[in-house]
Amino acid sequence: MSKSVAIIGGGPAGLMAAEILSQRDVKVDVYEAMPSLGRKFLMAGKSGLNLTHSEDYSLFVTRYGNKQCEIAKHFADFKPKDLLAFAKELNVKTFVGSSGRVFPIEMKASPMLRAWIHRLKIRGVTFHLRHRWTGWENQQWVFETPAGIIKIKSNATILALGGASWPKLGAKGDWVPWLAQAGIIVKPFIPANCGFYVKWTTHFSEKFHGQPVKSVVLSFKDFKQQGEFVITKNGVEGSLIYSASAKLRDELTLTGQASLTLDLAPDTSTEKLTQALRRPRGTTSLSNHIRKTTGIQGVKLGLLYEFIAKEIFQNPDKLANAIKALPIPLVSPTSLATAISSAGGVSFEDLDDHLMLHKIPGVFCAGEMLDWEAPTGGYLLTACFALGRAAGNGALRWLGI
């Protein structure tokens, strides 16, 4: 092997680059800052590894919003079905959940990661753990390692350094200044698929934190989706919130305010709710009357008490309207450190079609460190795998292999 490629970052994108390169006549070294590989991938598997989504590709690709053209290029020969074939090669059987999301039968990431690393080692990939890239010196890549500083040279390098959420899993975005030295201005990382702070009263927060709010429709501008979320001590989080989070976050950044709107009874029309609420209450308490006539109770009822004026409860028309469109004012997104993913990163404008940096020939970027975002639903991992693959192929092309 006369040519060598260094891959910095051993997450899904970096490993997929190694997958491509290790099948050709090239020496592959993966440098990873943490003591083990794929920590975020393993964390993703803790609550059920959502590998990809089974929806039609024409819809799937729209999930990448204004970056769909850039991302779609790299799906050309690696679509969700190809990811499933790849998982199968690693003996990972998958199933489609009721929402169309695709999971491994074992739900975890560890069997896939173990089998994959094993196969990469057999193909000759060398893994250098506890090697944190800390910059350049005389065209060499400098790493902090337990044995001190080391410097390496390679014929091509793939950066797959991840975004900046959950920094304790390894990806911290601390490489931004080193790319800036080379004139690459990285867009600041911001939370994506994140929760939001809400000013709950102490009473509501103490009573309902940790409780799911199920089967509601969340609307915000042109976003409208049914699902569920969770009340936290000081806000909201969960899949439905994450789906709307990019739009909510951008509105908060732009105007300083944003309210999401909840339909607490999506299967019942306003008219039906009004009729039901008009039924004579007798001596029944107001809460019991609402529960018996509309089915609204528990945390949903708590939300109504939290956000609507007392007099509205006496007016069936207005109360029905509030049940169908309850505004929840948000304060701000929760921190980047707790977000599922991040937006921001290296701009596609700084990269050619093969993900090579225009300003540093021979250096490629892949995965979440690039400036794109997508909702949860398997879209993040699918794109990271596809981008890692594209960077691997890009490096082969650059090396003329």
Ligand X SMILES: Cc1cc2nc3c(=O)[nH]c(=O)nc-3n(C[C@H](O)[C@H](O)[C@H](O)COP(=O)(O)OP(=O)(O)OC[C@H]3O[C@@H](n4cnc5c(N)ncnc54)[C@H](O)[C@@H]3O)c2cc1C
| Contacting positions for ligand X (CB under 6 A) | 8-14, 31-34, 39-41, 43-44, 49-50, 132-133, 160-162, 165-166, 170-171, 175, 340-341, 367-368, 378, 380-381, 384
CB of 141 to ligand X, least distance (A): 9
Output 117 or 380, the one with its CB closest to ligand X. 380
Nearer to ligand X, 243 or 274 (CB): 243
Work out how close the CB of 143 gets to ligand X at its nearest, in angstroms, rounded to a whole number.
7
CA–CA distance, 93 with 215 (Å, rounded to integer)? 30
State the DSSP code for 129. Answer: -
CB of residue 63 vs ligand X: minimum separation in angstroms?
Answer: 11
Instruction: Check if the beta carbon of residue 129 is closer than 8 Å to that of residue 36.
Output: yes
Contact 104, 112 (CB under 8 A): yes
Distance between CA 264 and CA 319 in Å, rounded?
12
Of the pair 4, 50, the CB lying nearest ligand X is at: 50
Quick one: 323 or 380, whose CB is closer to ligand X?
Answer: 380
Smallest gap from Cβ 194 to ligand X, in A, equals 11
Least distance (Å) from ligand X to the CB of residue 234? 19
Q: Where are the beta strands (DSSP E) in 107-221?
A: 126-128, 132-137, 140-145, 148-152, 156-159, 187-192, 196-197, 212-220
Torsion of CA 238, 240, 241, 246, to 10 degrees: 130
Cβ nearer to ligand X, comparing 10 with 195: 10
* CA gap 274, 309 in Å, rounded: 17
Instruction: Identify the three-state secondary structure at position 161.
Output: coil
How many H helices and E strands in the chain?
Answer: 14, 20
Q: Residue 154 CB, nearest distance to ligand X (Å)?
A: 14
Residue 9 vs 302, nearer CB to ligand X: 9
Give the integer Cα–Cα distance in Å for 253 and 241: 17
CB of 187 to ligand X, least distance (A): 15
Amino acid at the residue 307: F
What single DSSP character describes residue 268?
S
Closest separation in Å from C-beta 259 to ligand X: 27
DSSP string over 177-205: HHHHHTT--PEEEEEES--EE----HHHH
- H/E stretch holding 271 reads helix 270-278
| Residue closer to ligand X, measured from CB, 263 or 350 | 350
18/248 with CB nearer ligand X: 18
